[in-house]
Chain A
């Protein structure tokens, strides 16, 4: 009984560490990607036109946002499915 609790705690810790790594990755991408794409495209792609470079940076920031929303919705569906499976297995055990 106690090793079941330990296994559950370990898996919970692993899940929260994975979530933390994902969050840190998205935060770093949100900081680095737009401003670096602004300077990079201003110099090499749009040959000095800063308005187009600003539009590129805004598109990059919105792409990061959409990726975050997609990842969080997928994770939400996954955790919902896991909770349902756990409930089904628990009702089976009670019988």
Chain B
């Protein structure tokens, strides 16, 4: 029974979860917003600080992905018996954070590209785009709490 529940290829899914949590969304958001900011910087250099808010928000999305990766990697125990169910849970957690990160980074990039004159409006829209990534992180955290119950399955 334990050999069925803890096959040797189970850590593959866990580490795939760690790798998929690190987002490409933040890169897209930074790049797209940076195009708009570079255009603005030549005409109005005094607006640099507030036009970099989208870039900082894309950085926060990357921090979400990093924290989920560190969290999942800390709970991986491939040497002490790692159930396949825990591998799937970790894969799901990583994917949920990574894909919502891509969605949030996409939204932040497009909003940051069209830099408007109204700071407050832009920040409000960016906050709504950012909480998409936060929801993915919360789902990933919720999924990760289920793994602690599976610790003794392999013995």
Contacts and interface: CB of A to CB of B under 8 A. Distances in A.
A72 B60 contact: no
B91 interface: no
A34 B54 CA distance: 19
Given A35-B67, A51-B71, A51-B144, A23 B137 contact: no
A35 B64 CA distance: 10
For chain B, which range describes its interface: under 10, 10 to 19, 20 to 34, or 35 or more residues? 20 to 34
A4 B121 CA distance: 37
A15 B45 CA distance: 10
Nearest to A34: B63
Given A23-B49, A72-B49, A73-B119, A65 B67 contact: no
A15 B46 CA distance: 9
Interface string B137-152: 1000100110000000
Given A19-B48, A54-B70, 14 more contacts: A15-B46, A22-B49, A27-B59, A30-B59, A34-B63, A35-B63, A38-B70, A42-B74, A50-B71, A51-B145, A72-B52, A72-B119, A73-B50, A79-B46
A23 B52 contact: yes
Dominant secondary structure of chain B at its interface with chain A = helix
Q: Which 7 A-B pairs have the closest CB atoms?
A: A72-B50, A72-B49, A61-B63, A54-B71, A57-B67, A79-B46, A76-B50
A22 B52 CA distance: 12
Dominant secondary structure of chain A at its interface with chain B = helix
Contact of A62 (B45, B50, B60): B60
Interface of B: 45-50, 52-53, 56-57, 59-60, 63-64, 66-68, 70-71, 74-75, 119-120, 123, 134, 137, 141, 144-145
Contacts, number: 74
For chain A, which range describes its interface: under 10, 10 to 19, 20 to 34, or 35 or more residues? 20 to 34
Interface in A29-78: 30, 34-35, 38, 42, 50-51, 53-55, 57-58, 61-62, 65, 68-69, 71-73, 75-76
A68 B53 contact: yes
Contact of A54 (B46, B53, B141): B141
Interface string A1-42: 000000000000001100100110011001000110010001
